Amino acid sequence: MFKKSAITLILMIFVSFIIFLFLSSSKPYTDKYEKVRQRMVRDQIVAKGIKDQKVIQAMLNVQRHLFVPSSIERMAYEDRPLPIGEGQTISQPYIVALMTETLELDETMNVLEICTGSGYQAAILAEIVREVYTIEIIESLGQKAKILLESLNYDNINCKFGDGYKGWEENAPFDAIIVTCAPSNIPKPLEEQLKEGGRMIIPIGGSIVQELVLIEKKNGKLIKKEVSSVRFVPMVRNDGKRY
């Protein structure tokens, strides 16, 4: 009698343990900021006029809080740029969406990004286009972004460390180019590496305030249009001096 109930008890404990193991291993990763991110997209992206569904979906998909230091991850969905170390910043979500939308991207395109920073803009691009090429001059930042992007399984992002002013000749021409640091003039190599019919978005101006300029290459000529005033960190040379 005792033996039978003891066996039943052991069996029940064993079965409960197996069920527990199954449940804990199949528990999906919970994204604690999903609701906050949806609010950010509604209030800061759609409400301010972004219409491209591909951009809106990308902003919903990419978990911005993974791209900022964990000490400030709670601020990741606020309407502002944030520090990412080395004196650099991740751009305000709206500016990321605006620059991305302006490029009129689709899934067939190869895009060059100058200034990887945290890797957030690269992830947004990778959600939409075929291949992303991104260059960062501060190797520690670039390495961190590369590791994060790999861990998120973005196999269409190619990272390079070096001076983005020179572009990425081997993979040119690009359907679109996005520059997220500010030189005082449009870099010649980037002009040359833009495909005929392609678009480039770039902040041009002084070290504090710049004008976001959309450039289209038509019949070999560059047509420029000012989009809005912005504030980006300067594009620098290897010796730290501003371009």
The residues binding ligand SAH (CB under 6 A) are: 88-91, 114-115, 117-118, 120-121, 135-138, 141, 163-165, 180-181, 233, 235-236
In angstroms, what is the minimal distance from the CB of 12 to ligand SAH?
Answer: 53
Catalytic residue among 91, 118, 184, 228: 91
Phi, psi of 183 (to 5 degrees): -90, 170
Q: Smaller CB distance to ligand SAH: residue 1 or 208?
A: 208
Q: Is 212 left (phi over 0), alpha (psi -120 to 50) or beta?
A: beta
In angstroms, what is the minimal distance from the CB of 237 to ligand SAH?
Answer: 7
Q: Which long-range contacts (C-beta less than 8 Å, at least 24 apart) are formed by 86-89?
A: 86/138, 86/140, 86/141, 87/233, 88/117, 88/138, 88/141, 88/233, 89/117, 89/233
Q: Smaller CB distance to ligand SAH: residue 26 or 151?
A: 151
Helix pair angle (139-151, 120-128), 10° resolution = 40
Residue nearest to ligand SAH (CB): 117
176 forms beta bridges with: 111, 199
Asked if 207 is an active-site residue, the reply is: no
Q: Smaller CB distance to ligand SAH: residue 24 or 151?
A: 151
In angstroms, what is the minimal distance from the CB of 126 to ligand SAH?
Answer: 12
Active site residues: 91
